[in-house]
Amino acid sequence: MDHRIESLPFESLKVFSKIPSLARDFNLHLHMQRLKALGHQALIHNNNGVQKENLKYIFDAPQPVEDKFVSYVQNDLPKLLAGSKWDGLLTRQQHAPSDGEWQRLISGASLFAYFSMTSLVHKFPPALVSDLSIFSKCRAMILLDRMNANKTLIDRNILTSKHYKPDEQPTQQAALFSLCGVASVVTSHWATRPEAAFETMQTLFRGALGEGVYLGAALRKYRSQEEADKIIYRANVVTYGVPIVRVV
């Protein structure tokens, strides 16, 4: 991956428009290690995937989506896939997670989802990274963070300005959890509105859980349904690692 384009949404280029599932990775060796960890079988193009009984989350949904978000998590999310089991924290309705709760949720997660205005690396207890064993079951992470409820970079025309300097934090975050053994990391590259991030999450879960498609394919399908004037707001959500991960 060329560092000169890694902050740009090159997955949205027309040349990739007919590819159903697309992902980035840091090198081929790491990608092969991810496939091996998933038990990937090339002949049938399938792997062990994400276990639906072990879906965990920490959600810190801000206004103006807080009420809709809570209703979605409590009423709609558990119904998307029969037999799926969700466990986690709604921090604004319950409490901020302790170090022990971070450890419990991630160590038991086959898929871990995080939604907040604050970057995960600013809240994740650094000491837990040293214990790689807590990631032994985690196959995929969905990290929708760094939101801006007022004016996003795009609204201020900063993203298209010659003075724009890409934020390296998303790539570093993806690299960190890749080194921890996570096979697929879905993350955002720059700040968007909470409403856009919420729509992204809903569509990802509807595809991956409700329709049973690969995590990377759900993201691509989401993009193909975008209205032209909205693509730029959500094309920043990208997949690192293995895109062909399915919830089973």
- How do residues 85-105 score in pLDDT, each as one tens digit? 999 999 999 999 998 999 999
60 DSSP β-pair partners: 116
Whether the per-residue pLDDT at 140 is higher than 90: the answer is yes
Q: What is the mean pLDDT of residues 102-130?
A: 89
Better pLDDT: 140 or 118: 140
Quote the pLDDT of residue 22: 85
| pLDDT score of 58 | 96
**Low-confidence winner among 52-56, 114-118, 121-125, 226-230 (lowest mean pLDDT):** 226-230
Gyration radius (Cα) of the chain, Å: 17
pLDDT at 202: 92
230 to 85, 146, 192, 195, 222: CA distances (angstroms): 32, 18, 11, 12, 12
Between 45 and 143, where is the model more confident? 143
Strand order in the sheet with 237-241: 86-90, 55-60, 111-116, 140-144, 184-188, 237-241
Q: Write down the pLDDT at residue 216.
A: 86
pLDDT at 225: 57
Q: Grade residue 144 by pLDDT with cuts at 50, 70 and 90.
A: very high
Mean pLDDT of the chain: 84
Residue 205 pLDDT more than 90? yes
Measure the CA–CA gap between 190 and 233, rounded to whole angstroms: 9
Report yes or no: 34 and 199 within 8 Å, Cβ to Cβ: no
The more confident residue out of 63 and 240 is: 240
Rounded Cα gap, residues 195 and 204, in angstroms: 14
> For position 172, what pLDDT does the model report?
85
Task: Catalogue all structural domains in the chain, each as residue range(s) with its CATH number.
Answer: 10-241 (3.40.50)
Mean pLDDT value of segment 128-134: 80
Residue 68 tokens read as: 């809709």
**Mean pLDDT of the 205-218 span:** 90
Q: What percent of the chain has pLDDT over 70?
A: 85
* Highest mean pLDDT out of 31-40, 82-91, 150-159, 182-191: 82-91
Of 44-48, 109-113, 166-170, where does the model show the most confidence?
A: 109-113
Q: What is the pLDDT of residue 151?
A: 53
Say what the pLDDT of residue 71 is: 95
